[in-house]
A = this chain, B = another copy of it.
Amino acid sequence: MTEETDAASDVGLHGPVLVVGAGLIGSSVAMALVRAGVETYVTDSDPTTAHVASSRGAGSDKPMATEPELVVIATPPDALAAEVAVALDAFPDAVVTDVGSVKAKPLAELRQHRNDLSRYVGGHPMAGSERSGPLAAAADLFDGRRWAVVERSDCDQAALALVKRFARTCGADVVTMSTEEHDLAVARTSHLPHLMAALTAGQLTQAPTEHLALSGQGVRDVTRIAAGDPQLWRQIVTANASALTVLLTELRGEVDVLLESLQSGDGEPVQRILTAGAAGAGAVPGKHGAPALAFGTVLVAIPDEPGALARLFTDARDAGVNIEDLRIDHDPGRAFGLMEIDVDERDVETLIKALRTRDWSAHR
């Protein structure tokens, strides 16, 4: 995977661009292009949907006068390969891209019908919503989000460059990766989390209302994405079946470990799974794509006395723990300041133990 930055040669799109499919993503793409001054057309199998999108600022739903420079296929996953093939045939000089969540399966379908796919370059913006349709669309949906552009050896280089320019014109940051790498990455970071959210939320349908009254922010966060359109997600999940089967099989093994651990009363396997979970939660990049590092934070009280910080760092060094980052927060009027120390998640318990034996008040 490579992260791309704007190059001097990176001129804008000329247009026109034709967006096929006026759902949430298609309409948002069209609105982002219109925002950038690109001549944009939008179609949908349902003309009313295209008309609604157009009336919300997603370009024109009238017939195009000239051939498009770029066609963006934004249909549901099941229809994707067929629509890419239609566009390649209908517009013999246009570049064709898509915004589908899965890449290998539609590509395999396309290869059954065509030998030359050089003008097709797959893409996938990392943006969405629990809502769907043109009414939920927004021109800024992709601003600052990642947009995966899928490189293949049989892609035309100019087509590849055009699709990257298109993604940037929509406000996104481009990352390039292979077809297989993409599908495994999204299985991990999107499709498996969605299934887990759905399974957790599904359990709640059996709970009496009185039990749900104890819901806090935690369960709200875990289940939020499960509200997404079940029909759309069925298509996504089944299209990425092979990558998901590997991950779900591993996960079922961990559920078995948990069950055995709970039944035997030996808490060690539970603790191992919870510790791995804490490391994984720390590895998810922050909102602004901060580096993915499995850090944990240790909070230490710093007495307001000379040499306290020097003593703390000496004690941490003696514990063999590397400090990755730190923040100090002195609360005026208290005898103690508060230091947040970021260390490798696996070192968190070691550091807390070491500091406590040296009379520091340290907590996760």
Contact = CB atoms under 8 A, between A and B. Distances in A.
Contacts of A218: 128, 190, 193-194, 197, 224-225
Interface stretch (A62-70, A249-257, A311-319): A249-257
Nearest to A296: B227
Contact of A195 (B197, B221, B258, B285): B258
A146 interface: yes
A233 to B, nearest CB: 5
Nearest to A239: B267
Given A49-B361, A210-B185, A280 B226 contact: yes
Nearest to A1: B210
A16 interface: no
Interface in A320-340: 331, 334-336, 338
B276 A237 contact: no
Closest 10 CB pairs of A and B: A133-B363, A198-B277, A201-B280, A185-B211, A230-B274, A226-B277, A1-B210, A202-B276, A204-B280, A226-B281
A228 B221 CA distance: 14
A305 interface: no
A363 B278 contact: no
A89 B21 CA distance: 72
Nearest to A173: B213
A276 to B, nearest CB: 4
Interface string A72-89: 000000000000000000
A292 B209 contact: yes
A338 B258 CA distance: 47
Contacts of A306: none
- Report copies per complex: 2
A288 B218 CA distance: 14
B212 A292 contact: yes
Nearest to A280: B201
A123 B205 CA distance: 26
A299 interface: yes
A215 B267 contact: no
Given A133-B364, A199-B196, A212-B285, A278 B228 contact: yes
Contacts of A55: 334-336
27 contacts: A1-B213, A46-B356, A133-B299, A135-B363, A136-B299, A136-B363, A181-B211, A185-B210, A185-B214, A188-B211, A189-B212, A190-B214, A192-B200, A192-B203, A193-B218, A198-B274, A201-B276, A201-B277, A201-B278, A202-B276, A203-B250, A203-B280, A204-B283, A205-B283, A213-B285, A226-B281, A252-B255
Contact of A294 (B197, B205, B281): B205
Interface stretch (A90-98, A153-161, A240-248): A240-248
Contacts of A51: 361
Nearest to A356: B46
Contacts of A190: 214, 216, 218-219
Interface in A263-304: 263, 265, 267, 270-271, 273-287, 289, 291-292, 294, 296-297, 299-301
Contacts of A148: 214
Given A175-B213, A210-B185, A212-B189, A52 B301 contact: yes
Contacts of A274: 198, 226, 230, 233-234, 237
A245 B263 contact: yes
A330 to B, nearest CB: 12
Contact of A262 (B202, B241, B252): B241
